[in-house]
Amino acid sequence: MSHNELKRKALDRNGVKAEYDALEPEFTLLKSLLSARKKAGLSQAEIAKRMGTKPPAITRLESSLTSGKHSPSLATLKKYVEVLGYRLEIRIVQN
């Protein structure tokens, strides 16, 4: 079974789609972070060095956005994107 088939099957289960949709902001942020890192041509180790931390901290930061086990602080996210040559913007949008 392919990943897409498995995902489609899982999303058909009661409650799974709602939980998946609730994670959309985290997935969008992670996609943006990874895209910015790719455009900057930097590895996790290079980002860690520039941030003054260890590579596993960057791995945790990136994976935390999909696992929900850890919420990175705004200061950490700001530092991460600044290393890549970006700035962090946060907006509140009415549903």
Helix boundaries (H) for 52-93: 55-67, 74-83
35-81 residue pLDDT tens: 999 999 999 999 999 999 999 999 999 988 777 677 889 999 999 99
Q: Output the DSSP codes for 36-52.
A: HHHHHT--HHHHHHHHT
pTM greater than the 0.85 cutoff: no
How far are the Cα atoms of 10, 19, 22, 31 from residue 91, in angstroms, in the given order?
A: 31, 22, 17, 17
Q: Does domain 25-95 have CATH number 3.40.50.300?
A: no
Average pLDDT over residues 12-19: 86
Domain ranges of the chain: 25-95
Q: Quick one: CA dihedral 48, 52, 56, 60, positive or negative?
A: negative
